[in-house]
Structure 1
Amino acid sequence: MVNKLTETFAQLKRNQQKAFVPYIMAGDGGLDCLIDRLVLLQKMGATAIEVGIPFSDPVADGPTIQSAGIRALKAGTSLRNTLNELEKGKDLVTVPIIVMTYMNPVYRYGASSFVQDLQKAGVAACIIPDLPIEEEDLIVSELTEANIELIRLVTMTTPKERIAQIANRGNGFLYTVTVKGITGVRNSYDEELIQFLKMVKEVSPLPVLAGFGISSENQIIELTNYCDGVIVGSKIVELFAKNDFETMEKLLSVLQSVPR
C-alpha cells in the first residue's frame, strides 16, 4: 500500500504542481477546534498539513510558534490527546497529516505505542527535528512497518555529502530549512539560499520543500522556482490567532494560479 503522502507528491509531479503545506499548532485555540481547522485548510487547498505538538523545550520554534505552544500547553494539549483528536476526525480530513514533535515526548510515550497511535489516527508522516539519522533505529523500523514516513530535515549548514545521505532515506519529501536559525516571519531571502536550494534539488531524489520564515505570496512564488513546494508555519499560526481567514485563503491559493 502506497503511503498517502508519497501518493500525493507523485500526483503533484504528474500534474506539474507545487506543494503548499501549512503548519498549525495543535491545541492553540483549544484542542476541540483542531479538526475544524484541518478541514478549513483542506478546503483552502492545502497539499498536506503539518500538525505541531506543543513542547516545553522546542529547539526549532521561533516566537510566534513558541507562543502558540505555550497557549496550547496551558489548554492541556499533549501528544496523546492530540492523536486521540486526530483519530476522531480522520474520516473528515483526507489530505495527508504530518505530526511534528520532539524525541522526548516520543520516548515518554513509548516508540511502539506512539507509532500505533499515529496509525490509528491516520497520520501519514511525522517530523522529529531532534532525531539525527544516526539514532533513527529508535523508531524508523516501526514507522516503516506502519507505512508512516519519517520526514527528515537539512539546513544551510548541512554539508552536501550529508544532505545526499539524508535525502536518500525514506520517501515523502525532504524538509529544507531556509534560514540559519529558528522559525519566524522573514521579509526577504538572499542569493545564498537560492544556490542552496538548487544544490539540494540536484542531490535529492525526494521532492524538496522549503520551510521556515516564508510569509508572503511573493516569497512563495520566488522560492518555488527552485524547489517543489513550501511549508508555511508562523504566518498561518498568526492568521489563525487573528481569525484572518481571507488572507489565509489568499496565501494558500497563490500556487494554484502560478503557471508551471
Structure 2
Amino acid sequence: MGGYEALFARARREGRPALIPYVMAGDPDPETTVAVVLALAEAGADAVELGIPYSDPLADGPTIQAAAQRALAGGATFAGVLSLFDRLAAAGGPPLIAFGYANPIERYGHARFAERLAATGALGAIVPDLPFEECAGLREELRARGLGLTQLVAPTTSNERSRRIAAASDGFLYVVSRAGVTGAGGLDLEPVIAQIGRLRPLTELPLAVGFGISKAEQVEAIGGVADGVIIGSALIDALGERRGEAAGRAARAFVSSLKIASHKA
C-alpha cells in the first residue's frame, strides 16, 4: 500500500488534505476521460477515483447515475474501462483508484480483476455495495498483488462497527459525510467534523471524506480535520456537456480552486 502512504504523507508535509476527485470512466467518451484525468493531475489532484459505469449504482445520486448512463450509451465496457487505466498510466497520469460495484466485478472474476488492475499500476479499489463481512475474497486477491480495498463508513455506523470496518480497510477509510447517495449540495459541516473526531481514535488509517463536497469553503473546513477530501458530483456538474480538451480545461479550473482552498485547511 506504499502508493497510498506516499500520497497522504505528501499532503501532510504540505499541511493540507489529499485532494481526490472522482471521474466516471467513458463519460461521454474515452478521449474526454483521458483529457479530464490528466488535467486533474496538472491541477494538483493527488489521486483520481475512476468510476466503472454500472446500470444500477446504488450509492450514487442523479449526477453520477446520469454519467454512468452516458458512458454505457457511448459503449463503455468493463474491459474497456480497464484499458483506460492503461492509457492513463502510459500518459503519466495520476495514481488511480477503481470505484466499481460488486456485481460486475464478480462477473469479471475477483482474481482476474485484481490481476488486471495491478497490471495498470492502480492503487486499489472501492466497492461501495460490498459489505466488509463479505469482502475477504476480493480483498485478499487485491492484497496479494499489492493493491488495497478501501472500506466506507457511514455517519450512522456505531463505533464498534466502525472499528471493525477500519480494520478491514486498506489505504484509507472512506468517511461518508451523510446518509443517502452521492451528490453535490446539502452538506452540514458540523456533523461531518464531529464524525471525524469520533473516528480518529478508532483507526490509524487516513480519513478521507466524500459525498456532498462541492465548494472551496467545504474543502477548507473538512480539510482542517480530515486527511483527504473526495469530490465527484460537483466536478461532473462543472464539466457539463463539454468534451475532450474543453472538458479538461473545465476540470482544471474547478479543481485548481479547490486545491487553493486545501492549502488554507
TM (norm. structure 1) is: 0.93
User: CA, structure 1 residues 246+203, in 2 after alignment: closer, same or farther (shift >3 Å)?
Assistant: same
Instruction: Report the Cα distance in structure 2 between the residues aligned to 1:191 and 1:114, rounded to whole angstroms.
Output: 39
Once the two structures are overlaid, the 10-residue window that deviates more, 178-187 or 206-215, is 178-187
Instruction: Report the Cα distance in structure 1 between the residues aligned to 2:68 and 2:167, rounded to whole angstroms.
Output: 32
User: Deviation string for 1:20-44 (max 9, x for gaps)?
Assistant: 1000000112013222221110000
Query: What is the alpha-carbon root mean square deviation over aligned residues?
Result: 1.7
Instruction: Report the Cα distance in structure 2 between the residues aligned to 1:50 and 1:21, rounded to whole angstroms.
Output: 7
| Contact 1:18–1:255 (8 Å) recurs in 2 | no
User: Match for 1:54: what amino acid?
Assistant: P
User: Match for 2:154: what amino acid?
Assistant: T
Residue 100 of structure 1 is matched in structure 2 by 99
Q: What is the Cα deviation at residue 163 of structure 1?
A: 0.8
1:153 partner SS: strand
User: Percent identity at matched positions?
Assistant: 34
Residue 196 of structure 2 is matched in structure 1 by 197
Once the two structures are overlaid, the 10-residue window that deviates more, 223-232 or 42-51, is 223-232
Q: What is the Cα deviation at residue 65 of structure 1?
A: 0.6
Q: What is the Cα deviation at residue 246 of structure 1?
A: 6.2
Q: What is the Cα deviation at residue 245 of structure 1?
A: 4.1
Q: What is the Cα deviation at residue 110 of structure 1?
A: 0.8
Q: What is the Cα deviation at residue 257 of structure 1?
A: 3.5
User: Deviation string for 1:181-220 (max 9, x for gaps)?
Assistant: 1111114415333211211122121110110010001111
User: Deviation string for 1:72-116 (max 9, x for gaps)?
Assistant: 010111221010121133132342100000110011101111111
Residue 226 of structure 2 is matched in structure 1 by 227
Residue 254 of structure 2 is matched in structure 1 by 248
Q: What is the Cα deviation at residue 171 of structure 1?
A: 3.3
Residue 43 of structure 2 is matched in structure 1 by 44
Query: Is 1:143 aligned with 2:149?
Result: no
User: Match for 1:21: what amino acid?
Assistant: I
Instruction: Report the Cα distance in structure 1 between the residues aligned to 2:38 and 2:57, rounded to whole angstroms.
Output: 26
Once the two structures are overlaid, the 10-residue window that deviates more, 171-180 or 190-199, is 190-199
Shift >4 Å, 4+ stretches: none
User: CA, structure 1 residues 190+256, in 2 after alignment: closer, same or farther (shift >3 Å)?
Assistant: closer
| Contact 1:5–1:48 (8 Å) recurs in 2 | no
Greater RCO structure (CA 8 Å; 6+ sep): 2
User: CA, structure 1 residues 245+233, in 2 after alignment: closer, same or farther (shift >3 Å)?
Assistant: closer
| Contact 2:16–2:263 (8 Å) recurs in 1 | no
User: Match for 2:23: what amino acid?
Assistant: I
Instruction: Report the Cα distance in structure 2 between the residues aligned to 1:181 and 1:246, rounded to whole angstroms.
Output: 28
Q: What is the Cα deviation at residue 168 of structure 1?
A: 2.3
Instruction: Report the Cα distance in structure 2 between the residues aligned to 1:192 and 1:17, rounded to whole angstroms.
Output: 21
Segments of 5+ residues of structure 1 without an aligned counterpart are none
1:230 partner SS: strand
Residue 109 of structure 2 is matched in structure 1 by 110
Segments of 5+ residues of structure 2 without an aligned counterpart are 242-246
TM (norm. structure 2) is: 0.91
1:1-260 superposed matches below 5 A: 3-242=2-241, 243=247, 244-245=250-251, 247-258=253-264
1:89 partner SS: helix
1:118 partner SS: helix
